[in-house]
A and B are shown apart, each in its own frame.
Chain A
Amino acid sequence: MIDQDVLERVLASAVSSGADFAEVYAEDKRSTSAGLDDRRVEQVTNGRDRGAGIRVVSGDTTGFAYTSDLGEDGLRRAAEVAAAAARGGGGGVRRIALDPSPAHRPNDVAHPPDTIDKSRKVELLTRMDDAARTTGAEVVQVSAGYGDSTKRVLVANTDGVLTNDEIVRTLVRVSVVADGDAGMQTGYQSMGRTVGFEVFDEVEVEELARDAARQAITKLRARPAPSGTMPVVIERGTGGVLFHEACGHGLEADHILKGASVYAGKVGEQVANPLVTLVDDGTMPGEWGTLGFDDEGHLTQRNVLIEDGILTDYMWDFLRARKEGRPQSGNGRRQSYQHLPMVRMTNTFVLDGPDDPADIISSTARGVYVAHLGGGSVNTATGDFVFGMTEAYLIENGEITEPLRDGNLIGNGPKVLQDIDMLGNDFAMGNPGTCGKDGQGVPVGDGQPTLRVKALTVGGTAS
C-alpha cells in the first residue's frame, strides 16, 4: 500500500520535533453489501474506503490526524498536523528503520469475496426470504442483508514495527416480523465469520431464516415478562454478551488506569464464582473478533482474564502498557483509519463448567430461560449493566414453559459474577457482535456454555 522507505521518512518527520513515538495505520477496504426488504432486493452497494491515520505521542499527549491521500505528501501533511498537536520537548533527527513482520493469518480464506459473482450473494437473500415466509403464515415481513469486506491493513511505527494484514469478513442477517391477535413480534438471526464465501458450504442460510421466523411466531403467544429478581438460565452461545458487559469492559486497562472500573486494584482477588474462567482470544480461526495483528501491529493472543474465579489480568493496548511498563496483550483496536486505537475485546468467552445443561433447567424451580439475547451496555465505574432478551421463556417447576415478551435484564457485574451458581459443559460461540465504545464500533465474538445466575432483575411488567 505504501513503500517502506516512504513510511520511514514520514515517521522520521513525525518525531522530528521531539515526540517519542509515531505510527502510521493505513487501510484499503473494499466492501459489498446487498439488502432485501419487503420481497425486493432493494440494492447492491459497493464501497471503497482508503486512508491513513497518523498518531504522534509525546509524554501523555497524543496527536492524531488522518488523510485519504496515501501519497508521501499527503502522509507528511497529516504527520505535521498530528505532530503539532503533540509538541515534544526538543528536536533532532531520528532515523527510523522498519523491520517487516512475516505475514501471519489466523486462518485461510478459500473463496475471497471479490472472486464471487454478486448474483450469488444476492441469491442468499432471496433464499432467506423464501425460507422465512414458508415457515408460517404469520410471517408478514422479512428483511435480509448480506455484507462482505476485504480490508488490507498496514501498521508501521517508530519502534520499527511494520505489519501487513488482510482481514476478510462475510456476514448475513435476517429479521422477521410476524403478526397475530396481540400485535406484531420480531425474530432475528445472523452469522458472521472472518472467512470468505466458503462459509456457505457449511452454513445453511435457510436455517437462520427459519429460526428467526420461529422466534417471531413463538412470541405471538408470549406473555409479559415477569418483574423482579429471580434465577435466570442463559442458553449456550447466546449469553457471551453477559460477560462482555458484566466484566469485559471493566477489565479494559484504560478504564482501570483512570480508576473508572469496579475491577481496578483487584488482580489476584476472587471476583467470580470459582466455576468461572474467562478468556479473551483474538487468535481463534474464523471467529468474528479474530485478527492476525491488532490495530497497533501487535500479534493477537489468548489472554486468560479470570481463572477459577480469580482475576488474573486486564486487557492492554500500546499506550496503557507503556505507561505501566508491561507487555501489550494484542487488544489495541480501532474502527478505521479515522479513529484512534484503544483497549478493546476480541473474542471473549467463558470455558465449560461441570454441569449437564438439562440439570441446570430441572433444578430451577421458578425463573427465566433466555434463549436469545439482544445487545447490552455497562457503566464500568458502577458495574451496573443491562442486556436485552429477545427470546425467553418462563421456567416453572424445573421445566421451560411459556414464551415471554422482550425486555431488559439488569444486574451489577461483580455481584452477578459471584452469583453464577451453575455452569454447563456445552460451550458454544455466539453470533457476530459489534461492540461500541466511545463512539467506535468494532467486530467482536463471544461464547459461553449454558449457565445460571441465581439472582438477576428481570425488567418485565407482570408480577
Chain B
Amino acid sequence: MSDDLLALAERVVERARPDEQVEAFVTRGGETEVRVYQGEVEHFVSAESQGVGIRVIRGGRTGFAYAATLEARAVAEVLDEARDNVRFGTVDDFAGLAEPDGVPPTEQVLWSDELAGFPTDRKIELAKDLERRTSATDRRIRVDDADYADAWGEAAVASSTGVRQAGRENGCYVSVSTLADEDRGDGVETQTGFGFSVGQSPDEFDLDKAARQAAERATRLLGARKPPSRRVTVVLDPFVTAQFLGVISSTLNGEAVVKGRSLFRDRLGEQVAAAGVTLVDDPTDPRAYTATDVDGEGLAARRNVLIDGGVLQQFVHNSYSARRAGVSSTGNATRGGFAGTPGVGCLALSLVPGQRSQEALIAQVGDGLLVQQVQGLHSGVNPISGDFSTGAAGLLIEDGELGAPVREFTIASTLQRMLLDIDEVGGDIDWLPMRAAGVSLVVHDITMSGE
C-alpha cells in the first residue's frame, strides 16, 4: 500500500530546515508486457521499480535531485544533493511549493483488485486470442505483433507547506499492429493498421473491435495513391483529433503563457475558435483514460473550461505558473515520474461533442478528405509560431461518401486558423488511451500537398 510511501515522504519533509521548503515525491510501480507473434510468446516482461525525487527551495532558489531507489541512505543522499543544487539556481521571487487550497479531490475508482490479481497465463491467452481474431478478419491481413500490457503505480507526495497525498492506480490494454498485403503484379503493396482496447480490468476489453479496427485501418488504404495538391475540407478521425488537441494544449499551458511562448498569451476573452467549439480539461470525468484525483503537486484535479463557445476562458496552471500569472493553480501540475520537477499541462482534454455521426458529417462535407492518420506531429508542427504541417493518409470524400484511399501527402494550415475553421464537432466521442479524447472534427480550408 502507498501508506509506507507517504511515511517515507513525510520523513524527508520533517528534515526541512526553518529557512527552506522541501517536497518529496515517492513512487513505486510495476508493469507486465506480453508480445505474441505467430501464436508464440515473443517476449514477456515483468518488473517493478521505485524512486524518489526531492525538491528544496531556499531564498527563492530551487534545487532538485532523484534516485531510482528507496533505500534510506540513498534517500538521505538525494536530499543532500538537492540542497547542494540550490546554490546554483537564480533567485526567483515566485519560486515556491504548492500550498493546500482546500479544494477536495473528487473520489475516483482508480484501482482494480481484479486486474491486480489477474493471472499471467490469462494475460498471455488474451494476446494470443487477439492475434487469432485479427488474423481471421481478412485473408490479406498479417499480424505484426499483438500485445497485452498492464501497469500499476503508487505515489505519495508530501511537502513542508502541508501537502499530504497518496494514492494508487492500475490499468491495462491490448493492442495489435497489422500488415495488409495485395499483389500488384509488379510487386506486393503493403499497408499498416493498428487497433487497441483499454480497460480498468481485462473484462472491459473488446477484442473483436480492436481486431476489426486494425484490419480495417490497413485494408482500406490498399491501393492508395498520392493525391493532387488542393485545398480541401477535412474530417479528422477521432484518433487524429485527439492528437490535434494534444498540440493545441501546449498553447493553453500557463507556463508557456507566463514565459511569453504561447500564441494565445494576450487573447483571454477573445474568440479564438469557431462558435461551436467548447474545450474542457476534466480529469474528474471517470470516462477519461487519464482521470485522476490529484495533480502532480498533490492538489485536487478539477474541471476547467478552457474555450467556451469559441471564446478563450483561461489557461491551465500549476502553483508556480499561477503565482506568476497572479491567479490560483488550476490543479494542472504534471509529473513524468520521480526524476523530474512538476510541469504544467492539460490532464484530460475533450471537446464537448455535437450530435451527428461521422457518416453524417461525411455526407454533409460532400467533397473532401477523411484523415485516418497523421505522421510527424513532432517534426512539422510548431506550437509557438502556429505552423501546422503533417504527413497524412486517408480516404477521399466523393459525393458525400468515402472514396479512393490516398497517402504520401501532407495537410497544412496554422493552429490559429484551424480552430476558427472548425465547421462541426461530431457526436462520436471516443475516450482514447491518451491525454485527450477523440471525436470526429470537420475543418475547412486545409492545404493538401501531393502531386
Among A161-169, A305-313, A400-408, the stretch in contact with B = A400-408
Residue of A nearest to B124 (CB): A85
Alpha-carbon gap, A389 to B81, bound state (A) = 40
Alpha-carbon gap, A185 to B63, bound state (A) = 31
The answer to whether B89 and A60 have CB atoms under 8 Å apart is no
Measured between beta carbons, the chain B residues less than 8 angstroms from A43 are 62-64, 85, 88-89, 341
Measured between beta carbons, the chain B residues less than 8 angstroms from A85 are 41, 43-46
Alpha-carbon gap, A65 to B32, bound state (A) = 9
B410 at the interface (CB under 8 A from A): yes
Residue of A nearest to B224 (CB): A382
The answer to whether B412 and A39 have CB atoms under 8 Å apart is no
The answer to whether A41 and B90 have CB atoms under 8 Å apart is yes
Among A47-55, A194-202, A286-294, A296-304, the stretch in contact with B = A47-55
Q: Mark A274-296, 1 if CB is under 8 A from B, else 0.
A: 00000000000000000000000
The answer to whether A65 and B47 have CB atoms under 8 Å apart is yes
Measured between beta carbons, the chain B residues less than 8 angstroms from A412 are 408
B115 at the interface (CB under 8 A from A): no
B14 at the interface (CB under 8 A from A): no
A396 at the interface (CB under 8 A from B): no
B434 at the interface (CB under 8 A from A): no
Report B52 CB to chain A, min CB distance, Å.
Answer: 10
Report A366 CB to chain B, min CB distance, Å.
Answer: 15
The answer to whether A119 and B43 have CB atoms under 8 Å apart is no
Task: Give B238-258 interface residues, CB cut-off 8 Å to A.
Answer: none
Given contacts A46-B65, A184-B261, contact A61 B44 (CB under 8 A): yes
Report B145 CB to chain A, min CB distance, Å.
Answer: 8
Task: Give A374-429 interface residues, CB cut-off 8 Å to B.
Answer: 374-377, 379, 381-382, 384-390, 405-412
Alpha-carbon gap, A184 to B413, bound state (A) = 16
Alpha-carbon gap, A86 to B66, bound state (A) = 34
Given contacts A185-B385, A379-B192, contact A63 B44 (CB under 8 A): yes
Among A5-13, A224-232, A354-362, A445-453, the stretch in contact with B = A224-232
Measured between beta carbons, the chain A residues less than 8 angstroms from B376 are 375-377, 386-388, 408, 410
Task: Give B51-103 interface residues, CB cut-off 8 Å to A.
Answer: 62-69, 74, 78, 81-82, 85, 87-90, 92
The answer to whether A228 and B449 have CB atoms under 8 Å apart is yes
The answer to whether A184 and B449 have CB atoms under 8 Å apart is no
Report B194 CB to chain A, min CB distance, Å.
Answer: 11
Report B21 CB to chain A, min CB distance, Å.
Answer: 13
Given contacts A48-B67, A49-B68, A260-B144, contact A382 B390 (CB under 8 A): no
Measured between beta carbons, the chain A residues less than 8 angstroms from B269 are none
The answer to whether B88 and A259 have CB atoms under 8 Å apart is no
The answer to whether B450 and A229 have CB atoms under 8 Å apart is yes
The answer to whether B384 and A382 have CB atoms under 8 Å apart is no
B352 at the interface (CB under 8 A from A): no
Measured between beta carbons, the chain A residues less than 8 angstroms from B88 are 34, 41, 43-44, 118-119, 122
The answer to whether B390 and A459 have CB atoms under 8 Å apart is yes
Task: Give A162-185 interface residues, CB cut-off 8 Å to B.
Answer: 177, 179, 183-185
Alpha-carbon gap, A53 to B48, bound state (A) = 11
A348 at the interface (CB under 8 A from B): no
B122 at the interface (CB under 8 A from A): no
Q: Mark B138-169, 1 if CB is under 8 A from A, else 0.
A: 00001011000000000000000000000000
The answer to whether B41 and A68 have CB atoms under 8 Å apart is no
A108 at the interface (CB under 8 A from B): no
Alpha-carbon gap, A43 to B61, bound state (A) = 8
Report A113 CB to chain B, min CB distance, Å.
Answer: 15
The answer to whether B385 and A408 have CB atoms under 8 Å apart is no
The answer to whether B447 and A141 have CB atoms under 8 Å apart is no
B309 at the interface (CB under 8 A from A): no
Task: Give A36-89 interface residues, CB cut-off 8 Å to B.
Answer: 36-51, 53, 59-68, 78, 81-82, 85-86
Residues of A in contact (CB 8 Å), total 83
The answer to whether A407 and B410 have CB atoms under 8 Å apart is yes
Measured between beta carbons, the chain A residues less than 8 angstroms from B65 are 45-47
Contact of B375 among A39, A53, A260, A386 (CB under 8 A): A386
Tell me whether chain A's interface is mostly helix, strand or loop, or mixed.
strand
B378 at the interface (CB under 8 A from A): yes
Report B449 CB to chain A, min CB distance, Å.
Answer: 4
Given contacts A384-B391, A459-B412, contact A66 B49 (CB under 8 A): yes
The answer to whether B412 and A227 have CB atoms under 8 Å apart is yes
Residue of A nearest to B66 (CB): A47
Report A272 CB to chain B, min CB distance, Å.
Answer: 17
Measured between beta carbons, the chain A residues less than 8 angstroms from B341 are 43, 45
Measured between beta carbons, the chain B residues less than 8 angstroms from A227 are 229, 410, 412, 447-449
A370 at the interface (CB under 8 A from B): no
Given contacts A183-B386, A340-B43, contact A407 B447 (CB under 8 A): no
The answer to whether B190 and A406 have CB atoms under 8 Å apart is no
Residue of B nearest to A34 (CB): B88
B259 at the interface (CB under 8 A from A): yes
Residue of A nearest to B181 (CB): A259
The answer to whether B74 and A48 have CB atoms under 8 Å apart is yes
Measured between beta carbons, the chain A residues less than 8 angstroms from B45 are 64-65, 85, 340
Residue of A nearest to B43 (CB): A62
A219 at the interface (CB under 8 A from B): yes
Report B14 CB to chain A, min CB distance, Å.
Answer: 22
Alpha-carbon gap, A342 to B341, bound state (A) = 31
Measured between beta carbons, the chain A residues less than 8 angstroms from B47 are 53, 64-67, 78, 81, 338
Alpha-carbon gap, A32 to B174, bound state (A) = 37
B260 at the interface (CB under 8 A from A): yes
B302 at the interface (CB under 8 A from A): no
Report B94 CB to chain A, min CB distance, Å.
Answer: 10
A186 at the interface (CB under 8 A from B): yes
The answer to whether B43 and A64 have CB atoms under 8 Å apart is yes
Measured between beta carbons, the chain B residues less than 8 angstroms from A63 are 43-44, 46
The answer to whether A141 and B260 have CB atoms under 8 Å apart is yes
A271 at the interface (CB under 8 A from B): no
Ranked 9 nearest A-B pairs via Cβ: A459-B410, A408-B380, A388-B379, A386-B376, A85-B44, A407-B389, A386-B391, A40-B90, A227-B449
13 CB < 8 A contacts A-B: A45-B341, A64-B43, A64-B46, A68-B49, A177-B384, A228-B449, A229-B450, A382-B190, A384-B375, A412-B408, A459-B409, A460-B389, A461-B412
B interface vs A, CB < 8 Å? 37, 40-50, 62-69, 74, 78, 81-82, 85, 87-90, 92, 142, 144-145, 179, 190-192, 226, 229, 259-261, 263, 339-341, 375-376, 378-382, 384-387, 389-391, 393, 407-414, 447-451
Given contacts A46-B78, A64-B45, A384-B391, 8 further A-B contacts (CB under 8 A): A46-B65, A82-B46, A184-B261, A259-B142, A377-B376, A379-B192, A386-B380, A408-B412
A interface vs B, CB < 8 Å? 34, 36-51, 53, 59-68, 78, 81-82, 85-86, 118-119, 122, 140-141, 177, 179, 183-186, 219, 225, 227-229, 258-260, 262, 338, 340, 374-377, 379, 381-382, 384-390, 405-412, 457-461, 463
